[in-house]
């Protein structure tokens, strides 16, 4: 009866479950794909504007802050999605290291600007990965027992 009156049961609305973890995962995968595309599509790119040299640092800082906010929103819950987020946080590190090896081998010519971007990519992604693993362990350590004291 309630459905016939337009009250009660209606159309079910799909809701994204745990949007902070999905956003973190999408940012990590997006950073990986975007960085690989940037270095392979535009090798030896160097901007003429001196202010452009500061932009990668600001982007890296903003990325790290947003990822940490997502982590702090979701770190207290223990879910499979949180573990997947922790595992996928290593993707940008791996991409940065592969690009570094390609540059060292001479297969990928990079300008000084791109080396700066590559350094920021590796440093930021390592920081994000270590902080993700560390914060999840510190906040959830109460679930791990090593004996009674």
Domain membership of residue 89 (yes or no) is: yes
Domain membership of residue 29 (yes or no) is: yes
- Total domains, the chain: 1
Of 128, 127, 94, 96, the C-alpha closest to 114 is 96
Greatest mean pLDDT among 14-28, 90-104, 122-136: 90-104
Domain membership of residue 51 (yes or no) is: no
Q: Where are the alpha helices (DSSP H) in 5-54?
A: 19-41
* Dihedral (Cα; 108, 85, 132, 115), 10-degree rounding: 10
- Domain of 73 in residue numbering reads as 19-42+62-141
What is d(CA 52, CA 35) in angstroms, rounded to the nearest whole number? 17
* pLDDT score for 56: 92
Domain membership of residue 3 (yes or no) is: no
| pLDDT band for position 120 (cuts 50, 70, 90) | very high
Q: Apex CA 130: angle with CA 54 and CA 33, to 5°?
A: 55
Domain membership of residue 9 (yes or no) is: no
Domain membership of residue 4 (yes or no) is: no
Is a pLDDT exceeding 50 seen at residue 119? yes
Q: What is the pLDDT of residues 68-117, one digit of tens each?
A: 888 888 766 666 677 788 788 899 999 999 999 999 999 999 999 999 99
């Amino acid at each position: 009866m309630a459905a016939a009156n337009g009250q009660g049961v209606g159309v079910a609305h799909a809701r994204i479950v745990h949007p902070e973890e999905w956003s973190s995962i999408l940012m990590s995968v997006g950073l990986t794909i975007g960085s690989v595309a940037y270095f392979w599509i535009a090798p030896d790119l160097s901007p003429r504007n001196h202010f452009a040299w500061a932009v990668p640092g600001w982007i890296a800082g903003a990325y790290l802050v947003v990822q940490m906010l997502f982590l702090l929103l979701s770190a207290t819950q223990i879910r499979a999605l949180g573990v997947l987020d922790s595992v996928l946080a290593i993707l940008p590190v791996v991409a940065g290291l592969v690009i570094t090896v390609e540059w060292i081998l001479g297969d990928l010519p990079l300008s000084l600007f791109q080396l700066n971007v590559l350094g920021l990519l590796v440093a930021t992604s390592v920081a994000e990965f270590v902080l993700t693993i560390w914060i999840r362990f510190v906040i959830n350590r109460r679930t791990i027992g090593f004996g009674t004291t």
